[in-house]
Chain A
Amino acid sequence: MKGKGMATDLLASGQPASGGSRPSAPRSFLDVRDLRIHFNTDDGVVKAVDGLSFQLDRGKTLGIVGESGSGKSVTSLGILGLHRHSKARVSGEVWLDGEDLIAASDERVRALRGQRIAMIFQDPLTAMHPYFTVGAQIIEAYRVHNNVSKKVARQRAIDMLGRVGIPQPARRVDDYPHQFSGGMRQRAMIAMALVNNPELLIADEPTTALDVTVQAQILDLIRDLQEEFHSAVIMITHDLGVVAELADDILVMYGGKAVEYGTAETIFRRPEHPYAWGLLGSMPRVDRDVRDRLIPVKGTPPSLINLPSGCAFHPRCPYVGYNGIPCRTEIPTLAEGSDHGVACHIPPAERQRIFSEDIAPAL
C-alpha cells in the first residue's frame, strides 16, 4: 500500500553511478540520484553525503533516520541548494517535478526555494531572526515569491498563524520570536515554511528542541497540513519513534550513505541491517526501561574524512566477519531484495533468520 514503485526505483537507483543503467526520465515527484556532497576542509575531504538515492511522491512522507553526523542535514540543505560552491562539491541529480536542481542556475534554485521547496529547521529559537517580528518574517517569505501588497501579505501571515494553531493570530503577528513559547515558535516556523504552499517540505528534526507533548502536537500538525496541501514531506530525525506513524518510506543513513531503504512497514516489521536493529533496539518505549535497551549501537559515529574500509559500519557491527563475509574489504551495495534495499554482506535469508530468531523476540 505504501512506497508505490519502490521495487523498480530501487533497482534503478541502487546502481553505482558508473552503472550507466539509470533511466533518464524521473518518475517520482522528487527523484534524488547518486547525490554526493563533499566538503574540502583543512583536515581532508569530508564525504558528508556519498551516493545517496531516493524517491518521493506527492502526498507521501519519507523518513530519513540516522545518528548525529550521518549527513541528514547536509542532504536536506543540498536539496535546497544551500551549500556554497566555494566550500562544497555537490554532484548527482536532484529532480524535482522533472527539473534537475543540481544542474539548474543559482537564481533558478533561489526562486524555487521557499516557493516549491520549504524547510523547517530544528531549533525554532535560533532559526528565526531575533530582531524582526514573526509577522514580518512570514510576510517577507510570502512577498519574495508573490507580488502582493504588504497588507495582503499581512493578512496571509495572520491566516497562516491561525492555521497552525496560534491563538489570537492577529495580535501575535506583531510579536517577536522571543515572546513565543518553544512550541508556538515552531508553529510559527511551520507557518512561515508553508506560506507559499510548497510541494516539498523538508522538516529537519522539527521536534527535537521541544518537550514530548508539544512534539506530538507538532507532528500532528505537519501531518494535517500535508494532507490538506498534498505535499511531499521529508522528515529527518535520529529517532525512529518520530517517523513510526508519519512516514510511508524510511531511509536509514550511516556515514553519508543509505544502509537500508524500504517502506515504513518493512523497516519496522522486518529490518535487515544490523544498524537498523540497533536503532530499533534503542528506541524508547513505554513498556521498557531505558537501561535495558536491547542492542544499543555501541561505539561512535565514523569520521567522514577517513571512513572505515569496506562496510563503514563494520567497526561497530556485532556480526562483522559473520561466516567469512568481506565486511572489512568490500563496500556493500543497497540494491538487494525486492521492495527493500539493504547494504549488508550477510545473505538476505541469513539476515531475516537472525532478525526473527535473535532480534525480534528481544525487541
Chain B
Amino acid sequence: MINYILRRVVTSVVLMIIISVVTFGVFFMVPKLAGTNPAELYVGKSATPADVAATARKLGLDQPVYVQYGRFVKGIVAGRDFNSGPSKTHCPAPCFGYSFRNDRPVFPLLLDRLPVTISLAIGASIIWLIGGVLAGVISALRRGSILDRSMMILALAGVSLPIYFTGLLAQLIFVHNLHWLPGGEYVNFRDNPIGWASKLLLGWITLALLYAATYARLTRATMLETVSEDYIRTARAKGLRERVVIGKHAMRSVLTPIVTIFGLDIGQLLGGAILTESVFGLPGIGRLSIDAVNTKDLPVVLGVTLFGALFIVVANFVVDLLYAVIDPRVRLA
C-alpha cells in the first residue's frame, strides 16, 4: 500500500514537471511564432523598439528558454525579483509569475479567485453526484418504464445543451423574469451565506445538469450490468433483502466507475467553470483566465494553465488512492 502511494506520488510529480516544461515552452514559443516579441506585451503600444528591448532584458525575456524556465522554477521555490521600469518588483515564493497588468503576483491573484471556483465546483458536484447517481439507479431498477425513458431523454438533453444556452435561459427566467434570485455581484460566504448561495444556485444547477446527465447514464449502464452479475445472484440466494442487495452489493460495484469519472471531471471542471463563471458573472478562476486572455496578460494565462494542470493531476492522484480504498484487488496486487 505504501509502495502504491509512493509510486503514485512520484508519477504525479514527474507528470507535473513535464506539464510545466511543455506549457512553459508553448508560452515561450507562441509569441515567437506569431512574430511578436513577448516583451511587446509588457510595454505600452506607443513604446519604441528600444523600450521593448530594454523591457525584454529586464524581464529576462532575451534569455534562452531553459534559463527562463530555471528562473521560473526558482521563483516558485524561493521567490523572485523583476527589474521592471525604474523600480524593482518583488514576487515572493511561491512565485508563478507577475502580472504587470494587475500589478500583482499571479499566485495571490489565483488565490483570490479560488474560493469562487471551488464554491461553484463543490456545490455543483454534490448536486450532480446525488442527482445523477440516484436517477441512474432508479432508471436501471425501473428499466423500460416511462420514468426510465423520460429520465434518459432528459439526460440526453442535459449532455447536449451547452451551458451558455441553459445558463442564459435559466438566468433570463429566474433572475430577470421571475425575480426569484438576485442578480448583482458575488458575495462572500462569510459575509452573507444566503446571498452567496442564491448567487451561485443557478450556476450550480446548470453545471450539475451537464454532468448529472453523464452520471445518470453511466450509473444506469453499470447498474444494469452489475445486477446480472453472479455475485448479485449469490447475495439474493443468501436471503438478503432486496434493499441490501442493491444498496450494498450492487452500489459497491457501481461506485468504482463513478469515482473514476468524478475525479477526471473535478479536474476538468475548470473548463466548465470558465463558461459558467462568465455566464453568471462569477469572479472565479475561469473569469480570471478569460480576462487574462483578453488583455494578453501572459503570466496570468500561464499561471491559470499550470494551476488547471495541477488541479487535474491532483484529482487523478486522489482517484488512484480512492481506487485502492474501493477495490481490494488494486490495493493488494
Interface, chain A (partner B; CB < 8 A) = 77, 80, 82, 110-115, 118-119, 121, 123, 126-133, 140-141, 144-145, 176, 178-179, 192
Contact = CB atoms under 8 A, between A and B. Distances in A.
Interface stretch (B44-52, B67-75, B215-223, B236-244): B236-244
Contacts, number: 69
30 contacts: A77-B233, A82-B236, A82-B237, A111-B239, A113-B238, A114-B237, A114-B238, A121-B230, A123-B230, A126-B229, A126-B230, A126-B231, A127-B231, A128-B231, A129-B231, A130-B253, A130-B329, A131-B252, A131-B253, A131-B326, A132-B252, A133-B328, A140-B240, A144-B239, A145-B239, A176-B328, A176-B329, A178-B328, A178-B332, A192-B238
Interface residues of B, number: 20
Nearest to B242: A110
Contact of B234 (A127, A133, A178, A179): A127
A80 B237 contact: yes
A141 B249 CA distance: 13
B253 A113 contact: no
Contacts of B231: 126-130
A176 to B, nearest CB: 4
Contacts of A133: 328
Nearest to B231: A129
A129 B234 contact: yes
Interface string B40-78: 000000000000000000000000000000000000000
A111 B235 CA distance: 13
A121 B234 contact: yes
Given A121-B230, A123-B230, A130 B328 contact: yes
Nearest to B239: A114
A145 B241 CA distance: 11
A128 B234 contact: yes
B157 to A, nearest CB: 28
Instruction: Pick from B234, B240, B249, B326 the residue with the most CB of A within 10 Å.
Output: B234
B238 A178 contact: no
B112 interface: no
Given A127-B231, A131-B252, 9 more contacts: A110-B241, A114-B239, A114-B240, A119-B237, A123-B230, A129-B235, A130-B327, A130-B328, A178-B332
A108 B218 CA distance: 35
A126 B327 CA distance: 15
B249 A178 contact: no
A113 B235 contact: no
A178 B329 contact: yes
Contacts of A176: 328-329, 332
A129 B241 CA distance: 16
Nearest to B240: A144
Contacts of B329: 130, 176, 178
Contacts of A123: 230
Nearest to A133: B328
A363 B301 CA distance: 84
A178 B235 CA distance: 17
Contacts of A114: 237-240
Nearest to A192: B238
B229 A112 contact: no
Contacts of A112: 239
Contacts of B327: 130-131
Interface in B197-230: 229-230
Contacts of A178: 328-329, 332
Contacts of B238: 113-114, 140-141, 144, 192
